[in-house]
Structure formats: C-alpha cells, structure tokens
Amino acid sequence: MFTGKVPHIIYGGDYNPEQWPEETWAEDVRLMREAGVNLVSLGIFSWAKLEPRPGEYDFGWLDRILGLLHREGVMVNLATATASPPPWLAKLHPESLPVTRDGTTLYPGSRQHYCPSSAAYKECAAALVRRIAERYKDHPALAMWHVNNEYGCHVPECYCDTSAAAFREWLRERYGTLEALNEAWGTAFWSQHYSEWDEILPPHTTPTFANPTQQLDFRRFSSDALLDLFEMEKRILREVTPGVPVTTNFMGFFKPVDYWKWAAREDLVSQDSYPDPADPESHIGAAMVCDLMRSLGEGPWVLMEQTASRVNWRRRNVLKKPGQMRLWSYQAVARGAEGVMFFQWRASKAGAEKFHGAMVPHVKSEISRSWREVKQLGNELKKLDAMQGAGGEAEVAILLDWENWWALELDSKPSADVRMLEGIYSFYKLLFEANIPVDFAHPEANLSKYRVVISPHLYLVTDSSAANLNRFVRDGGKLVMSFFSGIVDENEHIRLGGYPAPFREMLGLVIEDFTAIPEGETERIETQDGESYACDSWLDLIHLEGAEVLASHTDGFYAGTPAVTRHAFGEGAAYYLGTRPEEEYVKSLLQRACREAGVEPPLEAPSGVEVVRRKSDTGSFLFLLNHNEEPAEVQVSGRDLLTDARRVDGVRIEPFGIVILEEQR
C-alpha cells in the first residue's frame, strides 16, 4: 500500500475549489461523502491564486479547504501547483516561454507555457514548492504529493536559446569531447563536423533530414530536462516531508518521455486514461496502458484521471455508455490499480474544459446517470480492501524501450510506416483476446521470470540489451522477434556483420536486404502445412543459418524464401517474423510459442469477456469483465466480492458488467 493514510482503494478526483465560491465547498464535501470519496488532488492549477504577485503568497483559501476536507475525512493528494505558471512570470521573464521547432513562441493563455530549462521558471517553481511543503508538512490531510501535471503533455521539447545551451551541456556530459560527439553523430556525413561546442544547435527545422543521432540525442535530452524538473521538486518535498509519497501523472504510451527512467524515481506510478468510447477496441488499448503502468512501477499504481462521462478535446466527444465507466475502472483495478480517480470532481462552468465530464456534472445530480454511477462505484470499491498489495501473474513480457521507439520512428528509413505502437499492439491485442497476462519490460531488464518475451521492432539495441536477449533464449526462454530488429546501436549506427548482427546466431539466419511492401499491397506466405496467409508492410530477404522455416513467401522474386522462422538456441527458441502476416497467422504463432512455454490463460471465457487474476500471499481474485453489450456466462466458482461474498458456481455477467471472485486457495 502506498500510503497508510488511505487504508482503502483510493477514490476521488482532481478538485479545483478555486473555481468556485466557498459556499459551494460545503456541498462538495457533502457529495464527496455520498460518493465514497477518500482522496482529492488539490490545487493542480492554482499557482496564480497562491502567488498572485511575485513572492506574494495567499494560502488562506487553501488552508480553509484543507481544513474542511480533513474534518470530513477526505485525504489530500496535494499538488505542487507548478503546471501552469501565472501570467506575471511571462511578463517578468519572457525568455521563460517555450519555443517550437520552427521558432514559434508559445504564449500564456492556456497552460504549460514554460521552457523546461528556464532558470526563472525553475527558481519560481522551486520557491513555490518549498512554501507549500513547509506550510502543509504537518497537515493531517496530506496523504501524498502530486508533482506538476502531465509533464511534456503540451510542450515535450523546447528549441529556445536557453534550451540550446542546456542541450550543449547535456552533450558535454554524455560525450566529454567534441571528437566523441562527432564520431557518435557521424558528422563526416554531409559536412556536419563540429569544431566548437557553440556551433551545436537543437535539430531545428532544416532543409532536409536532420542528423539522426542529433535528433535522437535531442529526444533524450528533452526527456531528461523534464525529469530534472520533477527531480528538483522531489528533492524539496523529500527534504521537508520525508515520509510523504511523491507521484506525477503519466499519460500511457507517451512517446516524448522515457517513463522507465521516471518510474524508478517515483514512490508510486499514476496514470491518466482517456479511452475513446467511440472506438470498439479502446478497452484493449486501455488494458495495455494498465499493464504498462503496473510494469513501470513493478506493482500497484493509481488511475489518477479518467472521465466520468465524456472528454472535450476530441473532434467528436462520445459519452461512455451506461456501465462503461464502472467497467473500465474495474479493468484498471484488475490490472493493478489501487486508486480510481477522475478529472475532475465538479464540472467547471468557465474555461476551456467546461464541456469535460466530471464526477459532479452541471445538471442536478438527481437526474444524472453518471453521478449515480460515480456513487455506486465509490461505495463498491470499499469492499475491495483485501485486494491491496495483490499483484499480477504475467509470464509473458513485451519489450519496450523509449530510445528504440524514438530511433525507430526517425525519418529516412526503409519504411516510414513501421510504427512502435502498432507493432506492440499487434501482439498485445491477440494476447489480450486470449486472456494471457502480459507485462512490459525494458530490454535490459532481468527477464528470468518470463517464459515468453515478445520483441516488436527492436531496431536500436545496446550491447547489454543484445546480450540480455541472447541470454534469455539460451537459458530456456521463448522469444518472438519481429522485423527491423537489431539494426543499430545506441548512436544509431548500423551494426555491421549482416542484419541483424547481434541476433544472427540466436535467430539462425542472416538478412541480405529488406524491402517495404507498397501501401495497399499484400504478399502471400505459405506455412509448412500448406496454409496460405497475406502479409504486408515489410519483407526481409532471409538466408537460413540453422533456423527452421515455418512459412515462406510464395510470390515475386522472393518466392520460396523464408518469411517466418524458428531456431532452437541453447535451452530455448527464437521465433522470427520477417514480415507482417495477417492476424490469424500471428495468433497461431503466439499460441505455439505460449504452448511450448507452458503459458495458459486463467480460464476459458467467451469472446469479449476479459479475465484477469490478482494474487497475494493472502488471497487470489479473479476479475471477469464483460465488454459485450449482451450478457455472458462463465463456468467458474468462488466468493462474489461485490455481492457480499456469496459463494457462486457459474456466473452470469451483465452487459458491461463485472464479477470479482475470491478464489479458493
């Protein structure tokens, strides 16, 4: 459990009382009690209210609301309020404003208008955080710290002169000498050799493709610059309130920020989740994000934001259907969440988010379906205390490395259409549908607890990640690797010696060349049993060096060459997909790898029924989540946790319904 101060599953949301007259607060806390709210994130966007003029603070209103919340038994996830600087900062320090790649300054008037390397922003933010921490360090309502908000969400990188100087500093740290930098960046190409440090710039808009390593390093730097801001705040909070947990809210598979590095520095991982109800597969993507969060934090995490009903920032904002908010909340709990929170508590009446759903909507609560659902969920979650601390049971891991993601999606590649998330999702979706639990892992992580590891497009590999994967297979693991893997090192230089050099021996093959398959076109592959499948996107020209062929190409000048292979290596085996076959084929390949590894789902369930187990030393809980609009039946027994622990044999799950069974141990 993250905080002994909230001894239950956390329930609540972003609370912005500064948008309301104080008379409304009394109603707020009354409704919070009704809904079973036990924690609110307070003051995330309140810097301008807390410090209306430089160095002039007004904590009166925050004192009063904290007192009120405490009296009513609601704990506080107190924000450091640094996410949106007040207008005076830009007036005093125009150089603190961020600049985009093409040189556009981003002005105040929305939020997150600060350059991550700005000294003025850092100084003012640090002073504010210290004030807040000192003032509330002993407040009994303080349960945890909410640092900033969604770092990088709108401004993941900045190209101003301050950022350029900070980038050069970062490069000096990384390379030590200009010679080393020139070598790493391959500046012999296109006359890019640098003779002085101050010649180096961020990768601004250039006539054509910018230096790939420069682009990659700028991504690394930009992620680190944001991380430094988080660290700056955390240092102050640690010093003043050593025992209070610190988090900052993540945004799922957010490309600009390397969450592995961040999660290691947080006390608990928290996540904001906004699946689109208009997308029939959005619950699969949402599950994938939950699994990433559990993996990042190596355990329980908090769903920090979701909407009770609808967002306001898509072109068309579709309401969650009756039951869907509850269902998706339990999906998060099933996959390790120990907190279910919303953006936001009370719907705003002004500002850019007034049409965003909230726990308390604009309409009278008596007629609001979403309010009824919010109340139901909050009161139900109280029955799940026994769940706390229970973990997942994944034996399959999908590899994810942000540096690889950045490098893979740089320009000037054999195909611009090989995308990291598509590669990951193509495997994840099939495992999700088979109810096989999945973790995410960094390619340098200890993989020994997994039986199957899936490695989609692992284009950039360090020596140690290459060694790690070789070791995993040699020690008995089953690896499924997809095309365009093992191609470059951390400097984005080709690993010579025949593609994919670091995996050639393990895969038992060498790739002579690759070709993109033109858009809209497909090729065909045939399995050893004579079954034929389509494939598209990419095609490797494979020569065998010991691998066995599972499927070959049937057409074109590559007819008869291997498309999919398997190679026994050490105690394990490595599968390789040299193209993108249609789903049915990938499904059978995954089934084969899982069968070989002895990996099975918790139970057989009808299509559309998600089954997830959480387990601890004291209990085992089976979540059955029906994503169908029809009821579903599952043959399983246990004690039904939500209906006062009655024992059931065989369950019927309502449309968008859920059942949680405590299993016999």
Tokens of 519: 């858009």
How many residues sit in the footprint of ligand GAL (CB under 6 A)? 10
Q: 311 near 349, Cβ under 8 Å?
A: no
Q: Which of 343, 345, 440, 450 binds ligand GAL (CB under 6 A)?
A: 343
User: Shortest approach of ligand GAL to residue 492 CB, angstroms?
Assistant: 31
User: Shortest approach of ligand GAL to residue 308 CB, angstroms?
Assistant: 11
Give CA–CA dist 264/296, Å, rounded: 8
If we measure between CA atoms, which residue out of 23, 573, 633, 11 comes closest to residue 306?
11
Give CA–CA dist 480/503, Å, rounded: 12
User: Shortest approach of ligand GAL to residue 289 CB, angstroms?
Assistant: 13
User: Shortest approach of ligand GAL to residue 146 CB, angstroms?
Assistant: 10
- Amino acid letter at 504? R
Nearer to ligand GAL among residue 149 and residue 485 (C-beta): 149
Give CA–CA dist 376/373, Å, rounded: 5
Q: Which of 311, 466, 469, 501 binds ligand GAL (CB under 6 A)?
A: 311
Q: 446 near 439, Cβ under 8 Å?
A: no
Using CB under 6 A as the binding rule, whether residue 342 contacts ligand GAL is answered as no
Using CB under 6 A as the binding rule, whether residue 274 contacts ligand GAL is answered as yes
Tokens of 294: 């559990």
Q: Which of 28, 51, 150, 266 binds ligand GAL (CB under 6 A)?
A: 150
Nearer to ligand GAL among residue 341 and residue 399 (C-beta): 341
DSSP secondary structure letter of residue 385 = G
Q: Which of 157, 233, 305, 610 is catalytic?
A: 305
Tokens of 541: 């020209």
| Only segment of 62-70, 145-153, 394-402, 575-583 that touches ligand GAL (CB under 6 A) | 145-153
Q: Cβ contacts of residue 602 below 8 Å, gap of 6+?
A: 435, 437, 611, 612, 613, 622
Using CB under 6 A as the binding rule, whether residue 272 contacts ligand GAL is answered as yes
Q: 509 near 576, Cβ under 8 Å?
A: yes
User: How far is the CA of 22 from the CAs of 19, 25, 64, 471, in angstroms?
Assistant: 9, 5, 9, 62
Q: Which of 356, 375, 504, 580 binds ligand GAL (CB under 6 A)?
A: 356
User: Shortest approach of ligand GAL to residue 16 CB, angstroms?
Assistant: 9
Using CB under 6 A as the binding rule, whether residue 328 contacts ligand GAL is answered as no
If we measure between CA atoms, which residue out of 624, 618, 663 comes closest to residue 386?
618
Using CB under 6 A as the binding rule, whether residue 156 contacts ligand GAL is answered as no
Q: Which of 51, 150, 233, 373 is catalytic?
A: 150
Q: Which of 28, 51, 157, 305 binds ligand GAL (CB under 6 A)?
A: 305
Q: What is the pairing mode between strands 478-482 and 572-577?
A: parallel
State the helix-helix crossing angle for 324-334 and 369-381, rounded to 10 degrees.
30
Give CA–CA dist 11/32, Å, rounded: 10
User: Shortest approach of ligand GAL to residue 79 CB, angstroms?
Assistant: 10
For this structure, is 305 an active site residue?
yes
Q: Which of residues 509-568 bind ligand GAL (CB under 6 A)?
A: none
The contact pattern for ligand GAL, residues 223-262, with x = CB under 6 A and - = no contact, is ----------------------------------------
Residue 18 burial class via C-beta count within 10 angstroms: exposed 0-12, middle 13-18, buried 19 and up? middle
Nearer to ligand GAL among residue 351 and residue 598 (C-beta): 351
Asked if the peptide bond before residue 19 counts as cis, ω within 30 degrees of 0, the response is: no
Q: Which residues participate in catalysis according to the annotation?
A: 150, 305
Residues at the site binding ligand GAL, with contacts judged by CB under 6 A: 149-150, 153, 272, 274, 305, 311, 343, 353, 356
